Structure 1
Amino acid sequence: MLTLPYTSFRNNMKENMRRLHDDADVMLVTNRDPADNIVVMSQDDYESLMETLRVQSNPDLHRRVLAGMRQSAEGAEEEYDEL
């Protein structure tokens, strides 16, 4: 995770945001009061993180994803006709 003071982030916002997007990285933007620190990431990375949390928090869905990963690793994928 990159760390940058708020003033530096603000002064170079366009470059910082492009870097975060292009590198799929996150940045901790710090302030004098640590309670005011923020984390910045691309929307795609945020949505991916939220979907991962959704899958992880649903035990049935999580089991199904793990079973599918095992099948794929064993070369036992099943093909389905598109609806």
Structure 2
Amino acid sequence: MPDGFIDAPLSAATGAVAAGALAVSLRGARRELDERTAPLAGLVAAFRCCRAGAARSPSRPSPPPCSPSRPPPSPSP
């Protein structure tokens, strides 16, 4: 992305929107989750990130999302 592509007012506006969304999410999570379900939500989030390839090492590139783990079989003659 080139320098100056996103100016300061746009960056501040999107930061404010993100902070507001984070505050609403945290308020809802505090209301919905108790001492038993909060760790479970963390585990689910960790496994989702791992499944999506976000937790892979740089030496082993992750496959594209929703791709089969094996290549499709070649057509028989």
TM-score range, shorter chain: 0.3 to 0.5
Query: Structure 1-normalised TM-score?
Result: 0.31
Structure number having the greater strand percentage: 1
The TM-score normalised by the length of structure 2 is 0.32
